């Protein structure tokens, strides 16, 4: 075969058969042939260590959710399965979840969320991530405060809080317990806040007493026929209402009425002490 060269020759080399074999081998190394046995990276799925069939009887707990966003309460039931019962490796894991209510307006999404969560429970592995995912759901209409002054951004978030409480009970989530030093600091802050509030009320009471209208003694002692009417009845009702307020405060979490919401635990228990916001629930303080 004749090749015509139209350019000036600057250099040349002599080709040998061994050079062609080396070039072919190098090309095969760079582009290996496709093989069915090629090892590809696979995702590691953590599953339960044994094939689990649903037993006839499961133990569980039912939680009530009463939200101002809906008319009727929600009842959340979480059933658990006990693995390796009677051995040193015995453990309790959530197996299924049900949500029931008189209000059937949201039946579709309730069934969907319970089926997905139950499937995740049965899959095994670390299911605690559901708590953070549910608690991060916000309602565009706004959230609400539940009993204890804890802020809930949505009903779904409160379902997540219920799941979190249940997982803490069975030992899958370890709660952040306050240390003795934190408890003592919170008690000192609360005592100082109560003492300051009492001092302010004592100072304001004498200043308001000279301008208060004089009430006749007869008006303060109503007759049996007019009991509950006029000044006497109103005063008695007001006293009963004011006397029951501390009890209501104690049942709601025993936090001062002027407390604001804590940015860490979402509890309405943050007060201003020594020029710094301090939470009476979790001990968080912006000043460290």
Beta bridge partners of residue 82, listed in sequence order: 92
State how far Cα 142 lies from the chain centre.
16
pLDDT at 112: 93
Residues 100, 104, 105, 107: what is their CA dihedral angle, to the nearest 10 degrees? 60
**Order of strands across the sheet that contains 59-65:** 59-65, 74-83, 91-101
pLDDT at 194: 75
pLDDT at 211: 52
State how far Cα 129 lies from the chain centre.
11
Q: Which residues contact 155 (CB under 8 A, 6 or more apart)?
A: 65, 67, 69, 70, 74, 139
pLDDT at 189: 73
**How would you classify residue 142: left for phi > 0, otherwise alpha for psi between -120 and 50, otherwise beta?**
left
Max Cα-Cα span within the chain? 136
What is the full per-residue pLDDT of the chain (288 aa) written as tens digits?
677 888 887 777 777 777 777 667 665 655 555 555 556 666 555 555 556 788 899 999 999 998 888 888 999 999 999 888 888 888 889 999 999 998 877 788 899 999 999 999 988 888 999 999 999 999 888 888 887 778 889 999 999 999 999 999 988 888 766 667 777 777 777 777 777 777 777 666 655 555 545 555 444 444 444 444 433 333 333 333 333 333 333 334 577 776 777 767 767 777 776 667 777 777 777 675
pLDDT at 105: 79
pTM to 2 decimal places: 0.54
């Amino acid at each position: 075969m004749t090749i015509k060269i139209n350019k000036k020759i600057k250099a040349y080399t002599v080709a040998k058969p061994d050079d062609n074999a080396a070039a072919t081998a190098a090309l095969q190394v760079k582009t290996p042939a496709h093989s069915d046995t090629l090892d590809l990276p696979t995702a590691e799925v953590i599953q339960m260590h044994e094939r689990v069939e649903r037993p006839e009887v499961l133990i569980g707990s039912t939680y009530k959710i009463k939200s101002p966003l809906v008319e009727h309460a929600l009842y959340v039931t979480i059933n658990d399965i006990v693995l390796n019962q009677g051995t040193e490796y015995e453990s309790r894991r959530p197996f299924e979840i049900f949500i029931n209510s008189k209000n059937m307006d949201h039946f579709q999404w309730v069934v969907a969320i319970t089926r997905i969560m139950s499937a995740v429970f049965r899959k095994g592995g670390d299911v605690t991530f559901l708590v953070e995912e549910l608690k991060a759901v916000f309602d565009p209409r706004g959230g609400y405060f539940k009993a204890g002054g804890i802020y809930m951004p949505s009903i779904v978030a409160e379902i997540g809080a219920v799941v979190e409480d249940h997982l803490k009970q069975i030992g899958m989530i370890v709660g952040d317990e306050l240390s003795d030093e934190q408890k003592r600091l919170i008690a000192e802050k609360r005592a100082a806040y109560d003492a300051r509030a009492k001092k302010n009320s004592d100072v304001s009471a004498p200043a308001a007493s000279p301008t208060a209208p004089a009430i006749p003694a007869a008006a303060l002692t109503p007759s049996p026929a007019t009991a509950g009417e006029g000044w006497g009845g109103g005063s008695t009702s007001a006293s009963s209402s004011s006397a029951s307020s501390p009890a209501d405060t104690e049942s709601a979490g025993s936090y001062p009425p002027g407390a604001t919401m804590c940015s860490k635990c979402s509890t309405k228990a943050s007060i201003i002490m020594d020029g710094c916001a301090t939470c009476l629930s979790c001990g968080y303080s912006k000043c460290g």
